[in-house]
Amino acid sequence: MHEKTSNSILVPAPTAWPFIAALGITLMFSGIVTHIAVTMVGTVMLLRAAIGWWFDVLPEQKEEEVPVDLGDAAATRVAASFLKVARLMTGVEGHRVRIPVEVHPYWTGVYGGLVGAVAMAVVAVLFGLIAQGSIWYPINLLAAGIVPSLDQASTEQLRQFSEAGLIAGSFIHLMISICVGLLYAISLPMFPRGATWRSGLITPVLWSGLVAATLNVVNPTLNERINWIWFVGSQIGFGLACSWVIARTAKIKTMQSWPLAARAGIEAQTESEEKTDL
């Protein structure tokens, strides 16, 4: 009613609370790789922003008047049209498709993770030979998180071959490598061109920061004796090898342009329909 009887309209009042909430969320996650105090500050900011944002809407929405010129309202009227609207089908070029349109097969993540595991193992073995004169040292350090006999072992004992350490270390290394490889295969298609080599450099650095913040709890023995320069180098070796392998594999189109019946498996999509979608 106010908008019909005056030369102004009501619009939601501007507020800074969404920006403060976003900053609070950023600080909360930044604390994972920095300090718990940063997370606590972010949590307080987020809660305060949520309360402030809430009272901007309830019990009554805050609004402000914006003046408008109604002097030439008749000239701005749009003439009615009886033409039909040509609607695009989901998945047709130009329509709102869901990104990514093409993805890497999941098996490439497993393959890339295994290749990355080899690259990381080469760097770790070089570290063992150069720093400790033993290829078993990095393997036993990794296994110390789940093998009690290695948890309290001396440096000299960690240099010796351990059957339990080899089995446990290889298992941990392979499982983590495959899981991270799958994450690479899923996430790489979502980024623009050039993300392959950037993800091979930046992602391992971020991952190393996360490990540094949690390693004291997960594997105290490794945390006390780890060489972070070699660790980050091994992570970069994994990232470059894994992302390179995945990026070289052919992508497959997603099913978002398929009809619902084909996606549900009720009926198969014919070759002519596939060509139409393309």
Dig out the tokens for 91 from the structure: 């998945």
Instruction: Note the pLDDT tens digit of each residue in 120-162.
Output: 999 988 988 898 888 888 888 888 878 877 877 788 888 888 8
Give the whole-angstrom CA distance, residue 185 versus residue 247: 8
User: Hey, where are the domains in the chain?
Assistant: 7-70, 102-253
Give the whole-angstrom CA distance, residue 257 versus residue 243: 27
Is pTM beyond 0.85? Reply is no
Of 237, 252, 243, 235, the residue nearest 188 (C-alpha)? 243
Let me know: does 180 contact 242? Beta carbons within 8 Å: yes
Amino acid identity, position 155: T
Instruction: Note the pLDDT tens digit of each residue in 189-208.
Output: 777 666 666 677 777 877 78
Question: Was domain 7-70 assigned CATH 1.10.287.70?
Answer: yes
Find where tokens 């989901």 sit. Answer: 90
